Structure 1
Amino acid sequence: MTYPLTRRAFLIASAGVSAMVLAGPSAFAQQPYPSKQINYIIPYNAGGMSDNISRLLGQKLTELTGQQVINDYKPGAGGAIGANYFMQTPADGYTLLQSTNSFYGIIPLVTKVQYDPLKDLVPLALIGDAPMVIAVNPSVPATTLSELIAYAKANPEALAFGTSGKGTVGHLSGEWLQKKAGIKLLHIPYNGTPAALQAVLANEAQILFGPESAEYIAAGTLKGIAVLGDKRWDKLPDLPTTVEAGIEGWAPRSWHTVSVQATVPEEIKLQLNTSINDILRQPDVREKIIAFGLIPGIETLDGVKKRALDDNQQFGQLIRDAGLAIAK
């Protein structure tokens, strides 16, 4: 039987503790979830996007359930250290992992991890998509995706794209565009996204993939070309998607989720999906997610699982084609 994840359900359960004691130890196994503190693993340093999301969701889950949600930071190795730590915790739904689609489609292919992304880990909800904008330095003689592709075809390797490092979503976005458009670009990895952004502003590199360019596009110091995928971004509403520009199908994307181990009871996964989606529908939460720079999302448990599977397959192929996959 599935019990609603609410404060009322927990108070009812608490009132019946004496009866469960008399019924014996097996009765305690049937307590409504959650009946104790929830630990929230953040695999990155405090202050970033994952921290912002986890603080917001943690506060709302505490309000909804009456149980404390405690953030536990385990940064390092691009998220792999936190993920490996998380996989050693009990699979009872009382430990959550703040995560992105990279934990399903990128990290396990480029870093040694202690989990199988399709067998051991399950995403619970779609918190929001981070728009992967294609932005270029004003010196590039192109204002549309077709013009950018035409220029790159006529000038192989004359354009470079700056990224925050090898094997990142930005890097794989450049690999994807080269593959889809039949062009050759240079990849220049920098020490973080801010450095890559400054390089494109200074024309050391000419192309940047990611949401960080939005304010510079609005100010006219960079040119917006397109948004990867099929969703326009309200922050840059006039910018077409790559699907609208003629490149159909899947495109590299970055989205945020909360994950649990695959062996967590199915009813708890469904409860968490329902509860997180209810939180994401709250106007103040939606506003904050937009302020974080994300496109808010609502997705079923099956829908978000399919997203993870698609990204595992599509990113996996890009990673193998680029020679980035580590030996297993």
Structure 2
Amino acid sequence: MNPTPFPRFTRRAVLAAAAVMAAGLPAQAQDFPSRQIDYIIPYNAGGLSDNISRLLGEKLTALTGQQVINDYKPGAGGAIGANFFVRTPADGYTLLQSTNSFYGIIPFVTKVEYEPLKDLVPLVLVGDAPMIIAVNPSVPANTLPELIDYAKANPGALAFGTAGKGTVGHLSGEWLQKRAGIELLHIPYNGTPAALQAALSNEAQIVFGPESAEHIAAGTLKGIAVLGDQRWDKVPDLPATAEAGLEGWAPRSWHTVSVQGAVPDDIKQKLNELINGILEQPDVREKVAGFGLIPGIETLEGARQRAVDDREQFGELIRDAGLAVVR
């Protein structure tokens, strides 16, 4: 069952709402932050999460005058960092650089020490990573309906390559099969570059993710659609899957900053206000776009609703694919 898409908020409306709420914040939140903030990055340095945390950390320091210190806790797909994070004091002075996977994927496929939506709360929407459906030029389809028709006529003939089992790319393939009523072959590779190369060489015919954009522009892959309900300006001619006949929720990857659920609500709201103000800055939006994301901005409740939807929908896909761990 696909949930009804919740209303989108304009950046102006989000910031106006935050300003109104901030005016009525208790003194505790008005004085926040008054000391160093620790920023947990659950991956190795040098990746996308590191780039985002460095950008936001520098801006938070400039805005508040308080030092933001990055602390790297990589391993287990992010679970090690998340497990460490939930054991820190719930006072808002420790942040977790995170994605929707911490709510919708990791807890289903890895044993974790936290309860999503209860122990973790997403504060903002930093940006969406567009999930493109791209195919090898040998595939006789140029649109999503044509791809579905071909797959129905040739069950199991098309393979999709991914960075591994349980990844967003894998779950995108499971979603497409389920929604379109088709049968595809899944080939897990050791990382995204290998999956992309497989599509380029026709070892796999389909690949999901933003990495294919430059190859679509070069003509070495064919773009079919962008998962979800919004297009991406890097591939402006590609329709969203909602436009192309598959409406409702679709697998997505988005970046956020999380705090513990036990952090006081006024502190959560203050953090949402501070980070949204940073995300509104033109230079920040330009850098986020340069990271390969569609820059976003969202209310505290809107970010939480995204996590709720993804937990429900990804969870169903993971269970149907037999990937859920026994907890």
Q: How does 1:116-195 map to 2 (within 5 A)?
A: 116-195=115-194
Aligned twin of 1:233: 232
Q: Which amino acid aligns with 2:162?
A: T
Q: Which amino acid aligns with 1:184?
A: E
User: Displacement of 1:275 after TM fit?
Assistant: 0.9
Q: Which amino acid aligns with 1:321?
A: D
Aligned to 1:92, the other structure's residue is in SS state coil
Cα distance in 2 between the residues matched to 1:208 and 1:53: 25
Aligned twin of 2:278: 279
Q: Which amino acid aligns with 1:85?
A: F
Aligned to 1:278, the other structure's residue is in SS state helix
Q: Which amino acid aligns with 1:309?
A: V
TM-score where L is the length of structure 1: 0.91
Aligned twin of 2:213: 214
Aligned twin of 2:8: none
Cα distance in 1 between the residues matched to 2:58 and 2:193: 30
Cα distance in 2 between the residues matched to 1:230 and 1:109: 25
Aligned twin of 2:89: 90
Q: Which amino acid aligns with 2:160?
A: F
* Residue 55 of structure 1 pairs with residue 54 of structure 2: yes
Q: Which amino acid aligns with 1:300?
A: T
Aligned twin of 1:242: 241
Q: Which amino acid aligns with 2:73?
A: K
**Higher RCO, 1 or 2 (CA under 8 Å, sep at least 6)?**
2
Quote the sequence identity (%). Answer: 80
Aligned to 2:138, the other structure's residue is in SS state coil
Going from structure 1 to structure 2, the CA distance change for 1:209 and 1:67 (only over 3 Å counts) comes to: same
Cα distance in 2 between the residues matched to 1:78 and 1:197: 20
Q: Which amino acid aligns with 1:239?
A: L
Cα distance in 2 between the residues matched to 1:74 and 1:98: 11
Q: Deviations over 1:130-153 (max 9, x none)?
A: 000000000100000000001100
Aligned to 1:257, the other structure's residue is in SS state strand
* Residue 75 of structure 1 pairs with residue 89 of structure 2: no
User: Displacement of 1:311 after TM fit?
Assistant: 0.2
Going from structure 1 to structure 2, the CA distance change for 1:310 and 1:29 (only over 3 Å counts) comes to: closer
User: Displacement of 1:118 after TM fit?
Assistant: 2.0
Aligned twin of 2:261: 262
Q: Is the CA contact 2:29–2:267 (under 8 Å) kept in the aligned structure 1? A: no
User: Displacement of 1:222 after TM fit?
Assistant: 0.3
User: Displacement of 1:119 after TM fit?
Assistant: 1.1
Aligned twin of 2:45: 46
Cα distance in 2 between the residues matched to 1:276 and 1:155: 49
Q: Which amino acid aligns with 1:286?
A: R
Aligned twin of 2:6: none
User: Displacement of 1:29 after TM fit?
Assistant: 7.2
Q: Which amino acid aligns with 1:123?
A: P
Q: Deviations over 1:146-178 (max 9, x none)?
A: 000011001111010000010000000000000
Gaps of 5+ in 1: 6-27
User: Displacement of 1:32 after TM fit?
Assistant: 1.3
Cα distance in 1 between the residues matched to 2:325 and 2:154: 32
* Residue 294 of structure 1 pairs with residue 302 of structure 2: no
Q: How does 1:97-108 map to 2 (within 5 A)?
A: 97-108=96-107
User: Displacement of 1:30 after TM fit?
Assistant: 8.3
Aligned twin of 2:201: 202
Going from structure 1 to structure 2, the CA distance change for 1:257 and 1:29 (only over 3 Å counts) comes to: closer
Cα distance in 2 between the residues matched to 1:70 and 1:137: 44
Gaps of 5+ in 2: 1-17, 19-26
Aligned to 1:64, the other structure's residue is in SS state helix
Cα distance in 2 between the residues matched to 1:281 and 1:193: 31
Number of residue pairs the alignment of both structures matches: 302
Aligned to 1:208, the other structure's residue is in SS state strand
| Alignment RMSD (CA, Å) | 1.3
